Structure 1
Amino acid sequence: MGPFSWTVATTVGISLIAWIGVFTLFLRDELVDRLLLVLVALAAGGLIGGAFLHLLPQAIADAGSQDTFSLFLWFIGGFCLFFALEQFIHWHHHHAVTHEHEPVSYLVLLSDTLHNFIDGLVVAAAFLSSVPLGLVTAAAIALHEIPQEIGDFGVLVYGGFDRRQALVLNYLTQSTVVLGGVVGAFLGGALTGVPTVLLPFAAGNFVYIASSDLIPEIKQETDLRRSVVYFAVFLTGIGLMLAVRFLRSVASRPDVF
C-alpha cells in the first residue's frame, strides 16, 4: 500500500469513532439525562487538554526556530471568531420565532469539523514521511478522538439534538478527517506551513467553547457530591489527553521501530 491508500484507510477508520455514542440508543432516557452533564464535563476537559497539550505544542514544534508570536495571534483569532459567532447565533435565536438547539451545539460542530480536517492533513503528512510514522500518528489521533467524540455527542444531545441526530451530525463532522487526508495526500509539500497556523486557531476554538459554554454549565450544579464528580470527570478529560500525549511521544521515538 502507498501513502495515499494508508491515509484513506486510517482516516476512514478514525471517522468511524464518531459512532461510539450508539450505545446510548439502548439506554433509558432518564439514565441518558443523568449522564449528559458528565459527558459535558468530559468534553470540557478534553477540549482544554486537546488545546494545551496537543494543538499548541504541536504548532510550536512545527514552527521551530521561527517567531511563535504569530501562533498566539492565531490562537486569539480562533477564540475571538467563536466569540463573535456565538454572539451572532444568540442574536439569531433571540429574533427567531422558535429555536430548538443551543448555540454551543453549532460551535461544537464547526470546531470539530475544522479540527478533524486538520487531523486528516496531519495524518497525510505523516504517511508521506513514512508508513510507521503515519501509523503512530493515526493511532494517537484515534486515541484522543475517543473521549472527545463521546463528550461532543453529549454536548449535542444536551444542546437539543436527539440521540440519532447527534450521532449522524457527529459522524458528518468526524468524516472531514477523510477529506483532510485526501487533500493532504494530493497536495503534499504544497501545504507546508498551512496546518501550523490552523492548529492554534483550532485551539482557540476549543478553549472558547470549554471556558464560555461547557464549564459554566457544570458550575451551575449546587449539589456538592455531583460538583465533585463533574470536576473529577473534567480532570479525567485532561488526563486522557495527557496520557495520549505521553503514549505518542513514546511511540514516536526512533528506537521503537
Structure 2
Amino acid sequence: MFSISAAAIFSFTLLSRMVERMVSLSVGILLSTSLLHALPEAFESQADARTLFATLLGGLFAFFLLEKFAILRHSHHYEGDGHHHEHGHDKHEAGKAGWMILVGDGLHNFTDGILIAAAFLADPNLGLITGLAIIAHEIPQEIGDFIVLLNAGFTRTRAYVYNLLCSLMAVIGGLLGYYTLERATDWIPYVLVFASSGFIYIAVSDLMPQMQRRATLRETIPQILLIMVGVAIVLFLTGRAHNH
C-alpha cells in the first residue's frame, strides 16, 4: 500500500501533465525490471534454463493471443489520431489497454509475497530487509504501471484501486508461501519469467511503437534520456537491495 500510494502521488502530480512523454520512462522501467532484475533472479535459481526459456516464449505467445482475441487487448489509440472509427471507438479501445499490465503486475506481486514469506521464515531480520527492498523496487515499477494505465485512458481513481487490488496478490502469495513453502518456492522462477514476458510484450509491442511515431530528433532525444532514467532508477534500487 505504501509503494502504490507513493507511486500514485508522484504519478498524479508531477507526471500527470506529461503522461505521453513519460511512456518512455515506463519503457525503461518495465524492460530493466524484467531483463536486469526478475529474469536474472529466475535464471540464478536451480530451475532448468531451457524450461525457463520455454516459459518466456510461452508467456510472450500467451499475451499475444490475449491481445489477438481482444480478451485483454493492449492497443493505444486516441480520439482524433487519424484513424477512421466511429466516435468513442478509440477511447473504448484504449480503455482495454491497462488490463495486461495489471495481469503481469499481479503475478509479480504474488511472487514478491512468496519471497517475503520465505525470507521471514529463514530469519526475521532478513524478512524485514527483503520487505523493505521490495517496497523500494515496487515504487518505480508502480510508477511505470500508473503511466501505462493513465495512457490507456484509466481514471486516476480506477488506476489506483486496480493497482491496490493487484497488490493484494502479495498477501495471497505470502500466505501460500508460509503454508506450502517448499512447493511454492519451486514455482517462483517460472512465475517471475511469465510476469516478465508480460512486461516485455507491453513495452516492445505497444509502447515502443507508440514512441516511434514521434520521429523528429527533438522528440527522440527526450525519449532516449527518459528510457535511460528508468533503467538507472531500477539499477540504483536493486543495487541497494543486493548490497543489503
TM-score (norm 2): 0.84
Q: Pick which of 17-26 and 164-173 moved more.
A: 17-26
Match for 2:34 among 27, 32, 51?
51
The C-alpha deviation readout for 1:202-256, integer Å capped at 9, x for no partner, is: 11111111111111222222443332112211111112222223212211xxxxx
C-alpha separation between the residues in 1 aligned to 2:71 and 2:189? 31
Q: Pick which of 242-251 and 15-24 moved more.
A: 15-24
The C-alpha deviation readout for 1:83-120, integer Å capped at 9, x for no partner, is: 111111279899xx952534431111111111111111
* Alignment CA distance shift 1:225-1:200 (3 Å): same
Match for 1:150 among 143, 150, 158?
143
C-alpha separation between the residues in 1 aligned to 2:13 and 2:152? 20
C-alpha separation between the residues in 2 aligned to 1:25 and 1:249? 30
State the match for 1:3 in structure 2.
none
Cα contact 2:116–2:131 (8 A) shared by 1: yes
SS of the aligned residue for 2:45 comes to helix
Cα contact 1:74–1:197 (8 A) shared by 2: yes
* Alignment CA distance shift 1:48-1:160 (3 Å): same
Cα contact 2:72–2:96 (8 A) shared by 1: no
* Alignment CA distance shift 1:233-1:89 (3 Å): same
Which residues of 2 match residues 19-168 of structure 1 at below 5 A? 19-20=5-6, 21-22=8-9, 32-33=16-17, 35-63=18-46, 67-89=48-70, 99=92, 101-168=94-161
C-alpha separation between the residues in 1 aligned to 2:116 and 2:156? 30
* Alignment CA distance shift 1:198-1:91 (3 Å): closer
The C-alpha deviation readout for 1:172-192, integer Å capped at 9, x for no partner, is: 112321221122122222323
Q: Please report the RMSD computed on the Cα atoms of aligned residues, expressed in angstroms.
A: 2.4
Structure 1 residue 32 displacement after superposition: 2.7
C-alpha separation between the residues in 1 aligned to 2:43 and 2:12? 41
C-alpha separation between the residues in 2 aligned to 1:100 and 1:75? 27
State the match for 1:16 in structure 2.
2
Q: Which structure 2 residue ranges, 5 or more long, are not aligned?
A: 76-84
State the match for 1:193 in structure 2.
186
Cα contact 2:59–2:197 (8 A) shared by 1: yes
Q: Does 1:245 align with 2:238?
A: yes
* Alignment CA distance shift 1:105-1:181 (3 Å): same
TM-score (norm 1): 0.80
Q: Which structure 1 residue ranges, 5 or more long, are not aligned?
A: 1-14, 252-257
Cα contact 1:120–1:181 (8 A) shared by 2: yes
C-alpha separation between the residues in 1 aligned to 2:175 and 2:142? 22
C-alpha separation between the residues in 2 aligned to 1:60 and 1:224? 38
The C-alpha deviation readout for 1:56-75, integer Å capped at 9, x for no partner, is: 11111122xx5311111111
The C-alpha deviation readout for 1:16-36, integer Å capped at 9, x for no partner, is: 321231356567xxx734x10
State the match for 1:205 in structure 2.
198
Cα contact 2:116–2:174 (8 A) shared by 1: yes
Match for 1:230 among 196, 211, 223?
223
* Alignment CA distance shift 1:90-1:201 (3 Å): closer
Q: In proportion to residue count, which structure has more helix?
A: 1
* Alignment CA distance shift 1:91-1:131 (3 Å): closer
Cα contact 1:116–1:176 (8 A) shared by 2: yes
Q: How many residues are treated as equivalent by the alignment?
A: 229
